[in-house]
Amino acid sequence: MKKVSIQVTGLVQGVGFRYMTKLTADQIGVYGIVRNESDGSVYIEANGEPEKIDQFIEKIRNSPSPSGRVDSITIEELTSIPNRDKFTISN
């Protein structure tokens, strides 16, 4: 099990980014949360099999939303992230 936190900046709010992130996670089989942050970024926590997490990160890096644009992505592997059994959109 791999657990990561991901901070994404760019054109990631108001473009369906969270919704498309959830669809991507559901298709790959990754669980966690995605939420908008007050600074205009998007925060993601994800847990799953290492190869699925790597695939998920690659999709996020290239923006799951066709209207979005990822300028930077910060990934941190954290064992303290809670295990989740579904992927949800927060706020």
Catalytic (active site) residue 35: no
CB atoms within 10 A of CB 68: 22
Q: Which of 18, 47, 61, 83 is catalytic?
A: 18
Task: Give SS3 for 21.
Answer: helix
Catalytic (active site) residue 18: yes
Q: Which of 35, 36, 61, 84 is catalytic?
A: 36
Nearest to 41 by CA among 8, 83, 75: 8
Show which residues are catalytic. 18, 36
